[in-house]
Every structure is written in structure tokens, then in C-alpha cells.
Chains A and B, each alone.
Chain A
Amino acid sequence: MSTTTAMETHTGTAEHHELSFIRKYIFSTDHKMIAKQFLFGGLMFLALGGALAVMIRWQLGFPGRPLPMPLRILFPDTMAPGGIILPEFYNSLVTMHATFMVFFALMPLMAGVFGNLLIPLQIGAEDMAFPRINMASFWIMPVAGFIMLASFFVEGGAAGAGWTSYAPLSTSGEWTGVYMGQILWLVSLIVLGFSSILGALNYVTTVINMRAPGMTWFRIPLATWSIFITAWLLLLAIPILTGGLLLLLFDQTIGTAFFRPEGSGEPLLWQHIFWFFGHPEVYILILPAMGFVSEVIACRSRKPIFGYHSMVVAMVSIGFLGWVVWGHHMFQSGMNPLLGMTFVVTTVVIAVPSAIKTFNWMGTLWRGNIHFDTPLLHAVAFVALFIIGGLSGIFMASAPVDIYIHDTYFIVAHLHYVLVGGSLFGIFAGITFWYPKMFGRMMNEGLGKVHFALSFLFYNMAFFPMHNLGVQGMMRRIYDPNQYEFLQGLQPLNTFISISIFLFVSTQMIFAFNFLWSLREGKVAGNNPWKSNTLLWTTPSPPPHGNFPEMPTVYRGPYEYSHPDREEDYWPQDEPPATTGSGGETVTTPTPELVPGG
């Protein structure tokens, strides 16, 4: 099958011959292998982003102190002479931490890994619609990552204008001391945009066209729904970013003045373009996690998801509303204040679908039979922390309060509650839940629980007090807060936060160990270790090339847990209604209402 695409129908496994090592592990067109590639790539960038965070927190926790020994000799004098981080290197750290985390860790880990893994397996397709485009989507990422990494080594260092790259600061090295680094940053993100667009194109096409018989829209598992909506957001938002980045690149290199005032350019135009992309981007980073969490909570509390339709409607409305709220990033930017109220209203309205989702997750847990496995713990932590992140959002949605907390650590606390407490815990829930399907073995449960408990503790110790820093007025992206008299009293709290971050990052070693150790030593999983309903779990672990030995037929929704008429507390989607056991080898003819797309 190495030369034909998966669009052609697989008639069985017999004709699959052994693929060469390169076709199987490197330039693979198999969606499961691409998912694994995204997983390893994303986790490596996650580790890099974490390392940059440690450096940032070292400076804030122990300002002016040289870095501890192994790190001290690692950096040249242009970054940290004698181990003391320079302000311009600090700006690069802040910028690159966010850039790597948002574009190279969270996006690949969510859409890249789980979009690839879950979509074909959950809707009953043998692969993605465009396997080669899919392969290209992955291989663009290392190229972009290499360009981004290289920017640390060019003269002037890596980009230092913040991940938001506000013009005109970002348009000239004269302002930042960063010359080539800023250009490489732009080029890297322009290149990476193609990865997201190609991936999203694939996800959308696959979900629309390649569902198994009987997989109607409202029988699609919520994880796939969430990625489907995310893919639409990617398709529409990334081109906007790419357009903006190109204009900024022209401003930097060939002297245009789209965003530079000296050529009658408009600095606020960049902010409008960036946030018109940026706010949908926020939902790109959280919607998939919402999907994973829905899946895990329903399965591990052995109960149908509460309000499946409301969940879908809520996600779709978040997807729509995400386009009309960008102005709330710009309340203090000099945008016409009369426009402020428009964005206050749209922004608070987005709290409604978020609240619907939260209440529905709680409704799912209510009167369930909750198994305290690692995936469930991470999923419930997601809900608990998303509540905090959502509620703190209300403060900044209120424009007058935002006057005070805008660009302070309150924002930093909020966004880390959403992107770490939300997205990262969601990713942990996803990885621990689907690991057995990807690798055929279970992750160690004991290590998983230790990792969860310590992560949850250290995470909150690190990020909850940041709200207090914000209330005291401490600004973001400040190299040394002690420069301001009114912030000097906050040093002990900053030290506390820094140590908590170090502990949080160290705790991730447990996860890394568990992940690698379980690849060889984990308990063999079997087809369906979590006793879950979706089509994914009817395949062998890991699934073979082509996924399903026979085309499955879908008879019911994905969350039929604890049906009172059944002995088992789950009811796989492809089990014909006539049978009662878990066998179902004889496939009955689908009833007319089960035609896909209905």
C-alpha cells in the first residue's frame, strides 16, 4: 500500500506488505504514526518552553543573581555574562517561551497529535482524506522549529518584542537590539502556518466525508467535534496571522510602513490583525482539551455525557463568538473608547457557552460511578482550573477593571490558568487516556497519580499567587520589578512562585519517565482497557495500517454508559442492537436512518 493513498478502499489487511523503515517511521503517511511524530515533537518543544520558563523565573525569583552552575557556563556573554541574564536576553526568553509554548507545543500537541489520532479512529475511517498532505503538515513543523531555534544563535539574539510582537517595537532592531532574530521569528511562523492550514484542511475534509455508515453528526464523539471546530478556526485564523506577519516582514526588510508611524503606518493595525487571529487562537488552544475532557469524564464516570447537544452547540457558539471579541485585548491601546462597550458585551456573552460546558461536565459526574484513574484526575483538574481561568476572565472583560489589571500579572495568572491549567492538563488527560491505543501498553498508574498530585499542587502554588501580584500592580515582562519601589515588597512572593515553578517543571520528569518506561515495560493494554464506546477502542492496540479490519457500522451515540437493560456498563457504538454481549461478529443490516450525513 505504500504507493496508493488511503482514499482507495482497503479490502482487508492481507495486501499490506512491510514498509521500509523510512516510509514507516519517518516519511509516514499513516495518521497514527504522524500523530506519534507530533507527540514526540510537541513534547520536546514543551520541554524547551519549560526550560525557558525556568530561566525567566530565575531572574524574577532571584534578580541579579548569577544562574546556578550548570546553566551559568551554557550562555555566551551576549546572553548571560557571568550567569547574569541580560535585559535583552530576558525579553527574548519571555518572547520565545510564549512562542514555543503556543505555536510549537500546545498547537501540535492538541490538533497535531489528537486530530490525527482520533479523527479517523473515532469516525471509522481507514486514514485521513489526504495522507501526503498530512505528512507535509508534520514535516513543516521541524523546519519552522529549526528556524525558530536558530534565531537564538544569530547576532542580536532571538526575537524580543513579546509573542504579540507589537509594532513598531518589532519593526526595527534599533528599538530592541534584535535584528535577524526578529526576521527569523516571522519567517518561522509564516512557515509553521502552512502546517496548521494543511492539517486543518485534512481534519475538516475527513470529518465531513469519511464517516463510517451510521456515524451521523450527532453520533460523533465530542473529541472529534472539538477538533472539527478547532480545524475551522485554524483554517480561517491562520491565514490572517500569516498575512499580518508578511506585512510586518515587509516593514522590517524592505522599508514599507504598514505599522510604522514614520511612513504614515498604523501601529494599532497590527494589534487588530494580531488579535483578530489571536482570540480565535485562544480557543484553538482550549477547545480540543474540552473535547478530551468530555470524553474522559463520560467514560471514567461510566455515565452518558450530560447534555451532548448543548455541548456541541456551546462549542460551535464559542467558535463563532471567538471572532468578535478581539477588542478586549485593546481596551487600553488607544482604540476609540466608545468601541469598548461593544467588546465588553461580546466578551461577557462568551462566558455563557463556557458556563454551559462546565455545568454539563459537572452534570456528567453527578450520580456517576467515578473511577479515579490518572486521565480522570487530569480531566477533573481541567474543569476545576478552567473555572478559575474563566472567572478571572470576567475581571478583564470588564473594561474599567481592565484599566488597572491590563498588562499586569493578573493577566499572566489568567492565561496560565487557561493554557496550563486548562490546555496542558487536558493534554495530560488525553495522553494518559489514549496512550494505550497509541502504543499498546498502559502507562504506570502509580507514577501517573504521583505526577498528577504533585503537578496539581505545584501548579497552583506557582500560578494562583500571580493574581495577587497583579492586584498589587506588578507589570508583565518586567526584568527586575525591584526597580519600582511599590513592587519591592513582592520579592518574597516572587521567590515563592519561582521555586514552585521549578518544582512544577521538575515534576514533569516523572511524566517523561513514565511515558518512556511504559513504552517497553507498561502493562499490555488490549483493545479496550477503559471499557469505552467509541469506534477507536474496537481496533487492536495499536491499530494496524488501515485501522479497521472491517468497515464498522454505527448504531448509537458514543456515550451509552450504564444502560439499565444491559449487564455491561458500556455499549460500543458499533455493536448491533440485537446482540447483548460484547461480541457482535455478525453485522446486521443498518437501518435506513443510519445513513451518514443524516
Chain B
Amino acid sequence: MNFFWRMGLLLAGMLAVVIGLSVITGISWLDLSWVMPDNVVSTFGPTLDNLWLVILWITGIIFVVTEITLLVFMVKYRHKEDRKADYIHGSNKAEVVWTSITFVIVMALAFYTKGIWDEIRDPNLIPADAYPIHMMAKQFEWNATYAGADGQFGTADDFLSLNVLHIPVDRPVVVQLEAEDVIHSFFLPEFRVKQDAVPGMSTLVWFEATRTGEFTLACAELCGLGHYTMGGTVIVHSQADFQDWLAQQQAAAEDD
């Protein structure tokens, strides 16, 4: 059996193992996503997804080219009795070329990234008209406080929503994150939002929903033995529904 037959059989065997285990566990490789899931509901989400795609293309091409080159070298320059390797110590030209190409690519990426990062995180660029919500994270729940009719926190008409974050659609929301005990991480996968809530600190994070519906709120930082249960819901209301909901909660809070 020559080299290619042996390698072919080996690869076929490996493929059989992968397919076999895939069938047993019931996964389909075609369904596995390599791009961000198509569920984005925030205004900056698509920008972020697009950046993912750009990086995926750059790294994907480098990945395919380098791995194939490696494979070709392995096959082409495999040991043969009658041949001696070339006596080459390197090439300064090659070093300069691949160093500068890599440098240019990564620096270009870094500066492309800067604009997007600033858009999402620059504290000076948080929309001024954003609707404010206080979020206090504690083991193992999310306590969202709304300012009530007077728009001021810490007054008698504040009200609390446990594990459910109600927000209006098409209006920026700014969440002031705090933690009571340990570090938690405020993760809204569909919004592409993640920000740690650190005890002793107050962190602002803003986002704007683009459609109504129910979405996920999760804790992404290990916060103790109940960490995995620290989930919640984000309910995006239409602007009118949101005002109704506010009024209703308001009334209930004043009854107390």
C-alpha cells in the first residue's frame, strides 16, 4: 500500500468515527453556526455581528491557507531515502514580508474595531435621552428598579421588577449596574450586551431594542453555587404598552 492509500484509509476511518458519534448523539454539522445567531435585536448588534464576520473572513482565509500549506508540505517533503533536505537557514526577505503583512492586518483590524467599541462603550456617547433603569444583581436574582412617575430614583414611587427587565422598543435604555454581594455579569445574548456588575461599583451600559418580544437575561460570571439559575427575561414592549405597564406598576406601588 502506498502512502496515499494509507493516509486515505486513515482519514476515512476518522471521518467514520465523527459521523458515527454525530448520528448517535443526534447532531448535524450542517446546522452548527459559524456566524453569530440570527436573533439580534439591538441597534448596534448588526455592527458587532458584521465585525465578527470580517474577523471570521480574515482568520478563515489565513486558517485555510496555512493549514493546507502545512498539509502540502507534510506530503510533498515527506522522507524519501534518495533525497536530502535543502540547506536553507531562512530568508530575511520572507521574514520582513510576513512580519509587515501580519502587522498591517492586525493594526487595520484594531483601528476598525475602535470606532465600533466607542459607539457601544464610550461613556460620553451614551444617548442623552436614554430611559434609565437601576439593576441590582445579587445571589441569584436580578432586581430592576424603575424611577416611577417623578423620574427620580430613591423616591417613594420607585418600583421593583424581579428577574424581568421591561424596556420600550426603539428607545435607548441605560442600565446602571450594581451588585450587592459578588461579581455578576449582565448578559443579554440577543442584544449583544455583556457587562459585569461589580459590588462597590456602578457601571452604565446602554442599548436600544429594535423589535418587541421576550428575550434572555443571563448571568455570565461565576457567582456561586446557584450561578446557573440566575436567569431572567427581557420583555420589549411597544412604546404605548410600556407606558401602560409603567402606569400599572406605578399604581400598584402607590397602593402599598
Check B5 for interface membership: any CB of A closer than 8 A.
no
In the bound complex, do residue B84 and residue A407 qualify as a contact, i.e. CB atoms below 8 Å apart?
Answer: no
A563 B87 Cβ-Cβ under 8 A: yes
A177 to B227, CA, bound (A): 13
Nearest chain-A residue to B52 (Cβ)?
A401
Given contacts A404-B192, A485-B216, 11 further A-B contacts (CB under 8 A): A166-B183, A302-B85, A304-B89, A307-B95, A358-B66, A368-B73, A398-B51, A401-B52, A472-B37, A493-B27, A500-B21
Is residue B103 contacting chain A, with contact meaning CB distance below 8 A?
yes
A261–B51 CB distance below 8 A: no
- Residue ID in chain A nearest B78 by CB atoms: A370
B102 touches A492 (CB 8 A): no
Please classify how large the interface on chain A is, using the bins under 10, 10 to 19, 20 to 34, 35 or more.
35 or more
Tell me if A471 and B87 are in contact (CB < 8 A).
Answer: no
A340 engages B77 (CB within 8 Å)? no
Nearest neighbor of B49 in chain A, beta-carbon distance:
A404
Whose C-beta in chain B lies nearest to the C-beta of A369? B85
Interface residues in chain A, defined as those with a beta carbon under 8 Å from any beta carbon in chain B: 86-88, 91, 94, 160-162, 166, 168-169, 175-177, 261-262, 264-268, 301-310, 332-334, 337-338, 340-341, 344-345, 348-349, 351-352, 355-356, 358-360, 362-363, 365-372, 380, 383-384, 387-388, 391-392, 394-395, 398-401, 403-404, 406-408, 453, 457, 461, 465, 467-468, 471-473, 475-481, 483-486, 492-493, 495-496, 499-500, 561-564, 569
Interface residues of B in 46-98 (CB under 8 A from A): 47-48, 51-52, 55-56, 58-59, 62-63, 66-67, 69-70, 73-74, 77-80, 83-91, 94-95, 98
Chain A contacts for B195, CB-based, 8 A: 332, 334
Output the residue of A303, A401, A495 with the most chain B CB within 10 A. Answer: A401
A-B interface, 3 closest residue pairs, ranked by CB to CB distance from nearest:
A261-B200, A307-B90, A337-B121
Distance from A439 Cβ to chain B, minimum over Cβ atoms (Å): 25
| Assembly CA distance A365 to B56 (angstroms) | 27
Main secondary structure of the interface of A (DSSP, over half): helix
Chain A nearest CB, measured from B214 CB (Å): 10
Minimum CB–CB distance from B89 to chain A (whole Å) comes to: 5
Could you tell me if B70 and A484 are in contact, using CB atoms closer than 8 angstroms? Answer: no
**B149 on interface, CB distance cutoff 8 Å:** no
Interface status of B244 (Cβ within 8 A of chain A): no
Q: Identify which of B69, B200, B218 gathers the most chain A CB atoms within 10 Å of its CB.
A: B200
A336 to chain B, nearest CB (A): 8
| Pairs across A and B, CB under 8 Å, 10 listed | A175-B223, A268-B201, A356-B95, A365-B70, A384-B70, A395-B52, A406-B194, A477-B227, A562-B84, A569-B84
B116 within 8 A of partner (CB): yes
Q: Which of B95, B110, B185, B200 has a CB less than 8 Å from the CB of A344?
A: B110
Q: Interface residue count for B (Cβ, 8 Å)?
A: 97
Most B CB contacts (10 A, CB to CB) among A334, A371, A453, A486 go to A334
Please tell me which stretch of B10-18, B161-169, B235-243 contacts chain A, meaning at least 4 of its Cβ atoms lie within 8 angstroms of it: B10-18
Q: Is the CB of B182 within 8 A of A394?
A: no
Most chain B C-beta atoms within 10 Å of own C-beta, residue among A365, A380, A481: A365
Q: Please indicate the chain A residues that have their CB under 8 angstroms from the CB of B117 in the complex.
A: 337, 340-341, 344, 399-400
CA distance A128 to B196 in the complex (A): 47
Q: Which residue of A lies closest to B108 (CB)?
A: A348
Contacts known (A332-B185, A359-B98, A461-B18); A406 close to B220, Cβ less than 8 A: yes
User: Is the CB–CB distance between A306 and B88 below 8 Å?
Assistant: yes
The distance in angstroms between the C-alpha atoms of A503 and B27, with both chains bound, is: 18
Q: Are A481 and B228 in contact (CB-based, < 8 A)?
A: yes
Q: In the bound complex, do residue A369 and residue B79 qualify as a contact, i.e. CB atoms below 8 Å apart?
A: yes
Among residues of A, the one whose C-beta sits closest to the C-beta of B197 is A334
**Residues of chain B lying within 8 A (CB to CB) of residue A175:** 139, 181-182, 223-224
Is the CB–CB distance between B74 and A365 below 8 Å? yes
Q: Which residue of B lies closest to A373 (CB)?
A: B79
The verdict on A394 contacting B109 (CB below 8 Å), with A362-B69, A362-B73 known, is: yes
Determine the distance from Cα of A28 to Cα of B183 in the docked complex, in whole angstroms: 46
Which residues from chain B contact A404 at a C-beta distance below 8 Å? 36, 48, 52, 189, 192, 194
User: A287 CA to B253 CA in the complex, in Å?
Assistant: 61
B35 within 8 A of A: yes
Q: A175-B182, A400-B116, A477-B227 are in contact. Are A356 and B193 (CB under 8 A)?
A: no
- B5 to A: closest C-beta gap in Å: 15
Contact at A359–B94, with CB atoms within 8 Å?
yes
Contact B231 A398 (CB under 8 A): no
Chain B nearest Cβ from A369, distance in angstroms: 4
Nearest neighbor of A348 in chain B, beta-carbon distance: B106
In the bound assembly, the distance between CA atoms of A224 and B234 in angstroms comes to 55
User: Is the Cβ of A168 less than 8 Å from the Cβ of B182?
Assistant: yes
Evaluate contact between B63 and A334: CB separation under 8 angstroms: no
Flag if B200 contacts A267 (CB, 8 Å): yes
Contact of B66 among A387, A457, A467 (CB under 8 A): A387
B78 to chain A, nearest CB (A): 5
A370 engages B74 (CB within 8 Å): yes
Contact A369 B66 (CB under 8 A): no
Q: Does B254 contact A (CB under 8 A)?
A: no
A267:B48 contact, CB within 8 angstroms: no
A400 to B73, Cβ gap below 8 A?
no
B226 CB–A CB distance under 8 Å:
yes
Q: How far is the CA of A404 from the CA of B198 in the complex (A)?
A: 18
Whether B222 sits at the interface, judged by CB under 8 Å, is yes
Inter-chain CA distance A333–B118, complex, in Å, is 16
Which of chain B's residues have a CB closer than 8 A to the CB of A468?
32-34
Contacts A366-B77, A480-B228: A169 and B222 contacting too (C-beta < 8 A)? yes
B220 surroundings in chain A (CB, below 8 A): 406-408, 475-476
Task: Give Cα A340–Cα B122 distance, bound, in whole angstroms.
Answer: 10
Docked CA distance A359–B65 (Å) = 12
Are A308 and B90 within 8 A (Cβ)? yes
Closest to A178 in B: B225
Cβ-based interface call for B26 (8 A): yes
Q: How distant is the Cα of A262 from the Cα of B199 in the complex, in angstroms?
A: 9
Residues of chain B lying within 8 A (CB to CB) of residue A340: 117, 121
Q: Which residues of B contact A392 (CB under 8 A)?
A: 59
How far is the CB of A63 from the nearest CB of chain B, in Å?
A: 10
Residues of B with C-beta under 8 A to A483: 228-229, 231
Tell me if B128 is interfacial: C-beta within 8 Å of chain A: no
B10 (CB) vs chain A CBs: closest residue = A453
Q: Distance (Å) between the CB of B26 and the closest chain A CB? A: 5
Query: A304 and B194: CB pair below 8 A?
Result: no
- Cα A351 to Cα B118 in complex, Å, equals 23
Query: Does B152 make an interface contact (CB < 8 A)?
Result: no
Say whether A399 contacts B95, CB under 8 Å.
no
Q: Are A352 and B86 in contact (CB under 8 A)?
A: no
Contact of B218 among A338, A394, A484 (CB under 8 A): A484
CA distance in complex: A359, B114 (Å): 28
Query: How far is it, in angstroms, between the C-alpha of A383 and the C-alpha of B24 when the chains are bound?
Result: 31
Of the residues A304, A307, A344, contact of B113 by C-beta under 8 Å: A344
